[in-house]
Amino acid sequence: QIASNFPSDNPFVARALYDKVNTAAAECPGVTYSEDIIAGRPALWVRPMDATPKKVMLFMHGGGYSFGSPNGHRKLTAHLAKACNVNALSIDYRMVPEHPYPAPLDDCMSAYKYLLDQDYSPDSIVLAGDSCGGGLVSAVPLEARKRGLPLPAASVAMSPWYDLTLESESLETNKEKDVLGTKAFVDMLAERYTSGNKQLRKDPVISPLYGDLKGLNPHWISVAGHDTLLDDGVRFYEKAQKAGVDVHLAKAEGQQHVFEFMAGKSPEANESIKNIGEWVKGKIGS
């Protein structure tokens, strides 16, 4: 259980360790990278050769709002972007404990607004993310609706963290099988993100599971059978389906939290990313 062994009192050391863990994927051939500043935040452009012009992925990395970076998620982002045949913008949003909610969401919203301001049609934008980033790919459309902005064409959530109240049974039933760590560790991350405000944990843009999902953009949700957050994705899928959302659930039995990190090395990760790519291309015409 790698994550639960991170030093909780030193976010800088924890982030350095996390980025090493996240290099598990193989390099993705035929992709270039360039750093940028987007809406005041560092960002990484990931550009596959022959990507469809004017189609774009906004990628939001995982790490419990505490760890992770565009560089640490670079290989995963590249495999996804290539499968979807789009350029990807990976945003380095502010993180806790220095910057709790709403800072991470605000930075992702600013990146989405930047793409709209650069004349990307909302119909040509896909959001993608893993873990807490998977939560953000649903929180951003919910927040966009509140702000009167158009919704993106599609969202791809891998092992999403949708319920910061930690009501999902899989936090207990899968705790011996998953790399993510203990319920206490996940609770600590939720506590940091919400500045200790338990009531805030049910806010729909913090826990999208509690949002009004009617009219939400199409969603692909990838879950893993051994993931402690398995039930977050399943419960969101069931609620979205009842609300009439175009939503697809892909479950990989026997896999752990964000197994797609093994892209280029694991058949299960490769299959998931290939299927995501086909679905996204059908949604945005890339």
Please list the active-site residues: 131
Distance CA 24, CA 17 (A): 13
The alpha carbon of residue 193 and the mean position of all alpha carbons in its chain are separated, in whole angstroms, by 16
In sequence order, which ranges of the chain are alpha helices (DSSP H)? 11-21, 74-84, 103-117, 132-147, 170-173, 183-193, 230-242, 267-284
Instruction: For residue 89, give the nearest of 120, 131, 63, 66 by alpha carbon.
Output: 120
Q: How many helices (H) and strands (E) does the chain have?
A: 8, 8
| Torsional class of 40: left (φ above 0), alpha (ψ -120 to 50), beta (otherwise) | left
| Torsional class of 108: left (φ above 0), alpha (ψ -120 to 50), beta (otherwise) | alpha
Place of tokens 């800088």: 12
Counting every residue written for the chain, the total comes to 286
Q: Tell me the CA end-to-end span of the chain in Å, nearest whole number.
A: 38
In sequence order, which ranges of 148-266 are alpha helices (DSSP H)? 170-173, 183-193, 230-242
